[in-house]
Copies of this chain bind each other. A is one copy, B any other.
C-alpha cells in the first residue's frame, strides 16, 4: 500500500514521494477505505508550493477529495459495510489506504462512475451552496456567471438546469461556447460582451443571481446585468483584481454583494443537509446530468507528471490520480 507524501514545500519533483504506508485496522467509529481515485486540485498545487492559507505539518499525505471502497469497519459503526463506495470527506486522499471517520463519510450508490465520484466533494458542493444560500431561485430564473468553464461553473450549469433555472455563461475562449451548450448552458457569451447594454438580447428577464470567480471588470459586467435587488456572490478571484462597484448599483439598484467560501459553508451546514446534498448530487451523476470533464488519469507511479500537468493552463478538465493499481 502506497501514498503520495509531501516532505517539504517546493517543486513537485523535489518534494513529493510515493512511499509505502501501513494499513492499520480501523479504530472505533472509523472506516478503512481503499482509495480508488482522487483529483489534483488547484488547492493541492498551492499546498505543494507552500502557498495556501492552511498548510499541513510535514511530512503529510495530501489530497483534499477522492473516492474509495470500504475495506473494514471499526467498532460502533453502522450504515457502512465492506465494499461500499464512499467519499471519505477528509484530507490526505492521495493514498491507497485511508482511515476515515464514519460520521463524516458519505455513502454513494454502488455503481456510480468512480472518476465522477472522485470529483464530487469540492466543486459540485460549491455550486450547490452558491445556488442555494443567497437567492430563492424559482423555475425560469436566470443566473449569470463568469469562469463558466471551471468545474464549479460547469456544476452550476448542470445543477441549475436540473432545478429549472437558466444560466447565462461568460467564457474567455469561443471554442467553449458549443461545449458548454452541450452540457445545458442556456446562453454562452464571450468575456468582452457588454452585458449592461446587451442583457435583453440574452435573457427574457434579468438574472437575480450572479456568480463571480474572476473579480475586476468581469465582476462589474455581471453586476450590471443583474435585476434590481439582485445578488452578486464572489467565490474566486482568478483575475486578482478587486471588485469596483459604482455607488449607484448599491444605492439605487439595491444590489447585494456577498462572498462564498466552501470551508465556511461546510462548517455551518448541518450534517443532514450535507448528506441530502450528496444524495442529490450522486443522483445527478448517476443519471448523467452532472458530468465534469476529465483531462487525463495518471497512475500513482506518475504522480509528479500528474501534478505538473494539473498546473498547465492548457488542460481541459481535471487531472485524476488512479489509486487502484
> Which residues of chain A have a CB within 8 Å of any CB of chain B?
53, 215, 234-237, 242-261, 264
Contact = CB atoms under 8 A, between A and B. Distances in A.
Contacts of A259: 247, 249-255
Contact of A243 (B53, B215, B245, B253): B245
A245 B246 contact: no
A130 to B, nearest CB: 12
Nearest to A250: B259
B257 A257 contact: yes
A242 B244 contact: yes
Given A257-B256, A257-B257, A234 B246 contact: no
A56 to B, nearest CB: 19
A247 B234 contact: yes
Contacts of A53: 252
B260 A245 contact: no
A223 to B, nearest CB: 11
B254 A256 contact: no
A47 B216 CA distance: 35
A255 B245 CA distance: 14
B250 A258 contact: yes
Nearest to A253: B259
A257 B259 CA distance: 10
A242 B244 CA distance: 6
A123 to B, nearest CB: 15
Most chain B CB inside 10 Å of its own CB: which residue of A53, A242, A260: A242
Most chain B CB inside 10 Å of its own CB: which residue of A243, A248, A252, A259: A259
Given A242-B244, A243-B245, 12 more contacts: A53-B252, A234-B250, A236-B247, A236-B251, A242-B247, A243-B247, A245-B245, A251-B259, A251-B260, A251-B261, A254-B264, A256-B257
A255 B256 CA distance: 11
17 contacts: A234-B251, A237-B251, A242-B245, A242-B246, A243-B243, A243-B245, A243-B247, A243-B250, A244-B244, A245-B257, A247-B259, A250-B257, A250-B259, A251-B260, A254-B261, A257-B257, A257-B258
The 7 closest A-B pairs by CB, nearest first: A250-B259, A237-B247, A257-B257, A234-B250, A243-B245, A251-B259, A242-B246
Contacts of A257: 245, 250, 256-258
Nearest to A255: B259
Most chain B CB inside 10 Å of its own CB: which residue of A251, A256, A260: A251
A127 to B, nearest CB: 15
Nearest to A237: B247
A325 B213 CA distance: 62
